Structure 1
Amino acid sequence: MNLLLLAVAPVFTIIIYIYFQDKYEKEPAGLLIASFLFGAIVSIIIVTILYLFTGHFIPITDKFSVWQQFIQAFVVVALSEEFSKYVIVKYFNQPKKAFNEPYDGIIYAVMVSMGFACTENIMYVLEGGYQTAILRAFTAVPAHATFGILMGYFMGKAKFSNNRFKLNMAGLFLAVLFHGAYDFFLFIGFIPGISIGAFISLIIGIFLSRKAIKRHQDNSHFKTPQKTIEEHD
Structure 2
Amino acid sequence: MDYVSIAAAFAGGILPALAWLWFWRREDAPHPEPRRLIALAFAAGMITVALVIPVQKFVAPFLMTTTAIFTAWSVIEEVFKYLMARITVLWRREDDEPIDPVIYMVAVALGFAAVENALFLLSPLAGSTFLQTLETGNLRFIGATLLHVLSSAAIGVALGLSFYKSKAAKRMYAFFGVILAILLHSAFNFLILNTPEEHLLRTFGFVWIGLIVLLAVLEYVKRIHPKVKKIFS
Aligned-partner Cα distance in 1 for 2:109–2:152 = 6
Quick one: which of 89, 93, 102 aligns to 1:93? 89
Q: Which residue number corresponds to residue 155 of structure 1? A: 159
Tell me, yes or no, if the aligned pair for 2:70 and 2:186 is still in contact at 8 Å: yes
How many residues align? The count is 210
Aligned-partner Cα distance in 2 for 1:21–1:213 = 8
Q: Which residue number corresponds to residue 4 of structure 2? A: none
Aligned-partner Cα distance in 1 for 2:220–2:34 = 22
Q: Which residue number corresponds to residue 24 of structure 1? A: 30
CA displacement, residues 131-157 of structure 1 (integer Å, 9 cap, x when unaligned): 111221111111211112111111223
Pairing of 1:100-139 with structure 2 (within 5 A)? 100-128=96-124, 129-139=133-143
Give the fraction of aligned pairs with identical amino acids, expressed as a percent: 21
Q: Which residue number corresponds to residue 191 of structure 2? A: 185
Question: Structure 1 residue 78 and structure 2 residue 41: aligned?
Answer: no
Q: Which residue number corresponds to residue 141 of structure 1? A: 145
Aligned-partner Cα distance in 2 for 1:7–1:37 = 14
Aligned-partner Cα distance in 2 for 1:159–1:130 = 41
Question: Structure 1 residue 166 and structure 2 residue 162: aligned?
Answer: no
Question: Is the partner of 2:109 in helix, strand or coil?
Answer: helix
Residue 123 of structure 1: how far off its partner (Å): 0.9
Tell me, yes or no, if the aligned pair for 2:161 and 2:224 is still in contact at 8 Å: no
Aligned amino acid, residue 87 of structure 1: L
Aligned-partner Cα distance in 1 for 2:208–2:67 = 20
Q: Are residues 204 and 56 of structure 1, via their aligned partners in 2, closer, same or farther at CA, if it must alter by over 3 Å?
A: same
Aligned amino acid, residue 55 of structure 2: L
Instruction: Give structure 1 stretches of 5+ with no counterpart.
Output: 61-67, 222-233
CA displacement, residues 28-86 of structure 1 (integer Å, 9 cap, x when unaligned): 11111111111101x1133123213321332x3xxxxxxx3332232x22101111101
Residue 192 of structure 1: how far off its partner (Å): 8.4
Q: Are residues 159 and 57 of structure 1, via their aligned partners in 2, closer, same or farther at CA, if it must alter by over 3 Å?
A: farther
CA displacement, residues 74-130 of structure 1 (integer Å, 9 cap, x when unaligned): 2x2210111110101223322110000111111000110011000001111122221
Pairing of 1:3-18 with structure 2 (within 5 A)? 3-18=9-24
Q: Which residue number corresponds to residue 227 of structure 1? A: none
Aligned-partner Cα distance in 2 for 1:183–1:44 = 18
Aligned-partner Cα distance in 2 for 1:182–1:35 = 24
TM (norm. structure 2) is 0.81
Aligned-partner Cα distance in 1 for 2:111–2:197 = 33
Residue 10 of structure 1: how far off its partner (Å): 2.0
TM (norm. structure 1) is 0.81
Aligned-partner Cα distance in 2 for 1:166–1:216 = 18
Tell me, yes or no, if the aligned pair for 2:9 and 2:119 is still in contact at 8 Å: no
Question: Is the partner of 2:30 in helix, strand or coil?
Answer: coil
Aligned-partner Cα distance in 1 for 2:85–2:164 = 15
